[in-house]
Structure 1
């Protein structure tokens, strides 16, 4: 009887051992089963500093994946060997979440910049190592411009630097003789709007998209007149301020930046109400009150026969983009009165200082 009981006990223990071994084999097999390569990578809801990403996964991988590996880099610095270490997490390890997954804050993404991204799925094993899939195909995408909320942050910073308002009477544009010769002989005397370059904040919505004629209005403290010297050329086109700044004009804030210097630039847009330029700016840029803003103001006359008053900020350099053509006959072209001109200087495509705490905001540069 005791022998039978012992034999039955051994049989039960053997069955339990085999069952446990089979369960372990099943678990090990499941853990060692390769993960499928992520496919059909999709990027959506792209902003200047964030995006959402999703891809196709098998139901089995969806159930067991514990982490996602994401490799992101600027497209221009793309390295074909970047993914050679298949089983090593690269730039971001994120816990697996339902897709699409929001990606922001992990990198300092720059606005309007081309990136390439690839992903792996992974299962964290008991020993801490990862079972990983092959890298997906590399997908390219481009981040967006500053949204209105970002421009408002930039505007708030610019207001702090604007300084007191000074009176002025003319807008002006300095250029070399060849420029005005071309305008007279090739353009019928019309300064035509040109496409805004990429200088300043990379995320400004007007860069490379809005056409205009750049003008200045800053004056000297002691005379109240435009500076006698100019870095842009010895000839100056001047036009009365009221021709461009009046109740029929919309005024927009477009940018605030510096170029590794102590002084800062504010870019403003003047667009006739209802014009194509006005239509472009209205949903993209903060509109300023003509009579009450810290940069450029128009004050209507109080009595018949009086002239309106025009004022500009004193502690920043204003760059005013007028979105319509300007005929030279609307103003005058004269030699500037300074005895010398400054060396040629241009802000074309100049890069904003990304380290400046005065003019940068908390999103991509």
Structure 2
């Protein structure tokens, strides 16, 4: 992690510099603590989104949907569900007489989240085009390269420290993702031209790179906050990202006249008009849980863990596709699953050893005595 002037940065929280040795010990302990229940909940949300999101988006295209701006908007339009936990936290803060200025995020975070939201809107559109022109296995393989992009951006943006275990984890899961592309049915979907297939291939790769940039930017934004970042700030940050990303996509829908096309597309949808709206609504909720979980993982840990978690879920997404869409599950996919699980275990084993080493070092330090 990086050290910013005026404070140490860890897990997206800025802590003031200690004024004495005793305060330094307390600050160090605070920085190393992890909110495990929140982290596990965030990981669960990421899993729901990473597995369910692509399946629902693909379901839209498989049965007659052909508007990329609609699926792009679907990925962030579920932001109203964030008001439920936000209102609950707000009422709790009022009962505890927390000042308004401490509950709501500062203007700097508002601006940063808005910019990231516009970038996410662009990323969603690129991903939607790729998913509409390439098979689900190919688009998933390409999008899994976000882990490599994320590792590079994390190193330069937030000075992410790499251990032998984290490097091994990135290598194994990147290798597992690449293996999914070997001897798989990579034929382009029916009705897709060579030019469209190549365009989808390229834009999916660009989308992976953009998302690999977004998560370190989220982590950097947390570190730039003047006040300690709590989970209510995280929710507001994600809400603002989703709103601006949705505005970006809705603008594209307006320019492309997609709003007028929704009713006609619903009437011609292969699964029926009611199912058409259910697919869009379910996709909006599932994708929103994915992004909410992502910012939670970055808040509790770091952006690299979020990328690793997404990568390890890729083979599980492939298994879900086999069940839902009767796709083949060959030896390469089984090997990729083993490699990704191995890489995930490697990362957490490295984190366990590092935490144990830090605890042992802290236990050996003499207790400072105030003069």
TM over 0.5: no
Bigger share in strand: 1
Structure with the bigger percentage of helix: 2
- RCO comparison, higher one (Cα < 8 Å, 6+): 2
TM-score between the two structures when normalised by the length of structure 2 = 0.21
Larger radius of gyration: 1
